[in-house]
Amino acid sequence: MIRFGREVCSNLDNALTREWLETNGIGGFASSTIVGLNTRRYHGLLVAATQPPVGRMVLLSKLEETVIAGERRYELSANRYPGVVHPQGHRFLTQFKLEPFPVFTYALDGLEVEKTVFMVHGENTTVVQYALKGDAPNSPSLGDGAVLRLELRPLLAFRDYHSLTHENRAIDPHVKTDRTSVMVRPYPGLPALYLSHGGGLVAPSGHWYRRLEYDAERARGLDFVEDLFNPYVLTIDLNPRSIVIIVASTEPVERSRAETARHNEEDRRRAITSRSPKPDEVTRTLVAAADQFIVDRGAGQTIIAGYHWFSDWSRDTMIALPGLALATGRADVARHILIEFVRHVDRGMIPNRFPDAGEAPEYTSVDATLWFLYAVQMFLTSTRDDAFVRANLYDVLNDIVTWHVRGTRHGIHVDDDELLTAGPADRPLTWMDVKIGDWIVTPRFGKPVEVQALWHNALRFMEALAKRFGDEPRRVQHATMAGRARRSFNRLFWNPAGRCLYDVVDAASRDDSIRPNQVLALSLPFSMVPRAKATSILDTVERLLLTPYGLRTLAPADPRYRGRYDGGPRSRDAAYHQGTAWPWLMGPFISAYLRVHRTTRARAKVAEWLKPLRNHLSEAGLGQVSEVFDGDAPHRPGGCIAQAWSVAELLRVIRV
């Protein structure tokens, strides 16, 4: 359980760095800080996936909440306006906890109010429950006969989750009410929002809340001011033991379903964490985190790369699949994901990205398809389901290899030395893919080191599959290509001056940048690197790239090194792969380290390396692992608060 008391909750600077996340299994989510003060355009009580798992829209930004006791009003909400925080509900917040849902406890004069937020799996539905618990500890009594009411004012955004709303005349302020619910549709062509409440007084409002400020957006150098619309005020009479349930959904939902939905969701999450590969609380927390990334795509499933703003990226999905699905005992999920991506294979490539607005997939990666083969390899190792692979994947995998040998998009083809080359010089194709205008921040054209490692691993895996399935001609073919690739790799990629591997080899150049990509040449199931050289490579990586939260993407001595991931989009993009540390890289680094150093001392060292990331679970995205950290101390977290491959790679290696 993650829990914070008054000392954290009442300290805004501290509280606003901690964010909770609820997801619904179809791409939608609810999220905010532990005090309910939204600091991002992505924060909201109902961010609905209108074209699951994408087409996400912030419909209900928040509820302004007031408990009225006689003549006194207790504002539980908090918002940032220019120069002021108002109201200041965090002053009443005595506790925040995740168990498993976000639970907020407010101490008023004589009352304790407990608010719980959760999403219904498979629906764009958020449930908010308020429970009055009676006298709060060490508080004076409210007095006999005080009239108790809860006043709620929904604030609507109704916009794409990447955008912001501003006061406008196009909005339809009307509300449609019945005895237990309200329906609003502020703009034609957008979903309706249904808010069920079970009974209360609805008074139309039509007010704009102007100039709310989002601190995280300001820090990111983006627009950070929004206006939100309040269509009505709901007032509900209370008694000291009242339970009020608000259901916000894109479909009419009976309030009476909420309690059943809560029990069902508790049971579902309990069943997921019961499959944890280890019984300790940290591993169980990571297993629960893993579930938030697994979402439906049509009849299949996929993996959201990160919250709040990523959709499903195939590279991230394939790297994350072993940790999110296989390490957590969810082989059925892995099958669905692999089948879903097989449907989109074209010219020997899987798409790198499914755009958020639902356009055609993009085929813009040299390594995503090779990671797909790796994911199949890990699936087969974990499940031994030969029949599934033979029936659904084997022919496609052979077709992928054939396309790579003869050539596919973006100049991707096998060169005369049996190594894989790629690239027009104007398009980044590896995971270090930032492009700012015409500036490619990390140019890696030709033969990147991790692409060769993945290609060799794929060939050896296909050799093993062919042998398994009695396909002797293909076994010989793949074995021959793999042997040639290994010899070429060791001849071309060893950097004697750095006693490590070159990052990229091209016809006329060798890139001697010290980067973490070389670790993949050691960590994949089939490695090409002799043990003596592997030891030297790991020593270099540990000395120059290892931080408490991941591997730096560039050695600090390099003049291009950027140790802080901050500022506006250009500043952050310039640092993204030029020094910023990535937690997901701890997975391959630890795998390689334990392969080379097979000792009890090595395992103890790995356990120490993992401690800071374990502690990070109660920072930033609660129960989650951030996308990146500063390369420089104190290594502040940045990027997405919850990143699929960060969680997945920890889960994959934590059970070793």
Measured distance CA(221)–CA(68) in Å, rounded: 39
Measured distance CA(15)–CA(156) in Å, rounded: 24
Residue 417 has pLDDT above 90, yes or no: yes
* Pairing assessment for the beta strands 93-98 and 2-5 based on DSSP bridges: antiparallel
Q: What distances in angstroms separate CA 55 from CA 59, 119, 241, 446, 590, one per listed residue?
A: 12, 18, 40, 36, 37
> Taking CA 529 as the corner, what is the angle to CA 526 and CA 531, rounded to the nearest 5 degrees?
105
Q: What distances in angstroms separate CA 121 from CA 4, 140, 323, 533, one per listed residue?
A: 26, 41, 22, 49
**pLDDT mean across residues, the chain:** 95
Domains of the chain: 2-267 (2.70.98), 275-654 (1.50.10.10)
* Burial label, 401 (beta-carbon count in 10 A; 0-12, 13-18, 19+): buried
φ, ψ dihedrals at 232, nearest 5°: -160, 170
The whole-number pLDDT of residue 353 equals 83
Measured distance CA(655)–CA(652) in Å, rounded: 7
Residue 582 has pLDDT above 80, yes or no: yes
Question: pLDDT tier at 357 (50, 70, 90 boundaries)?
Answer: low
Measured distance CA(399)–CA(373) in Å, rounded: 12
Residue 144 has pLDDT above 80, yes or no: no
Kindly give, in sequence order, each residue whose CB lies less than 8 Å from that of residue 390, ignoring residues fewer than 6 positions away.
469
Q: What distances in angstroms separate CA 221 from CA 38, 214, 217, one per listed residue?
A: 17, 11, 6
Q: What's the rounded mean pLDDT across residues 135-148?
A: 57
Q: How many CA atoms lie within 13 A of 17 on its CB side?
A: 12
> For residue 275, how many other CB atoms are within 10 A of its CB?
12
Question: pLDDT tier at 552 (50, 70, 90 boundaries)?
Answer: very high
Kindly give, in sequence order, each residue whose CB lies less than 8 Å from that of residue 552, ignoring residues fewer than 6 positions away.
516, 544, 545, 546, 579, 580, 581, 631
The whole-number pLDDT of residue 298 equals 87
**pLDDT, tens digit, for every residue of 374-405?**
999 999 999 999 999 999 999 999 999 999 99
**pLDDT, tens digit, for every residue of 482-516?**
999 999 999 999 999 999 999 999 988 999 999 99
Residue 134 has pLDDT above 70, yes or no: no
The model's pTM is 0.96
Measured distance CA(2)–CA(176) in Å, rounded: 40
Best CA proximity match to 628, nearest among 581, 589, 584: 581
Measured distance CA(7)–CA(14) in Å, rounded: 9
Best CA proximity match to 561, nearest among 547, 581, 585: 581
* Burial label, 200 (beta-carbon count in 10 A; 0-12, 13-18, 19+): buried
**pLDDT, tens digit, for every residue of 309-334?**
999 999 999 999 999 999 999 999 99
Contact 121, 25 (CB under 8 A): yes
**pLDDT, tens digit, for every residue of 77-120?**
999 999 999 999 999 999 999 989 999 999 998 899 999 999 99
DSSP line for 308-367: TT---BHHHHHHHHIIIIITTT-HHHHHHHHHHHHTT-BTTB--SB--TT----B---SS
Torsion, Cα 322 323 328 334, to 10 degrees, reads -30
Question: pLDDT tier at 181 (50, 70, 90 boundaries)?
Answer: very high
The whole-number pLDDT of residue 143 equals 56
The sign one gets for the Cα dihedral 564, 565, 567, 572 is positive
Q: What distances in angstroms separate CA 614 from CA 67, 384, 568, 647, one per listed residue?
A: 38, 31, 29, 11
Residue 138 has pLDDT above 60, yes or no: no
Measured distance CA(150)–CA(67) in Å, rounded: 5
Question: pLDDT tier at 137 (50, 70, 90 boundaries)?
Answer: very low
**pLDDT, tens digit, for every residue of 3-62?**
999 999 999 999 999 999 999 999 999 999 999 999 999 999 999 999 999 999 999 999
* Pairing assessment for the beta strands 125-132 and 243-249 based on DSSP bridges: antiparallel
Measured distance CA(377)–CA(278) in Å, rounded: 23
Q: What distances in angstroms separate CA 185 from CA 48, 237, 317, one per listed residue?
A: 14, 27, 35
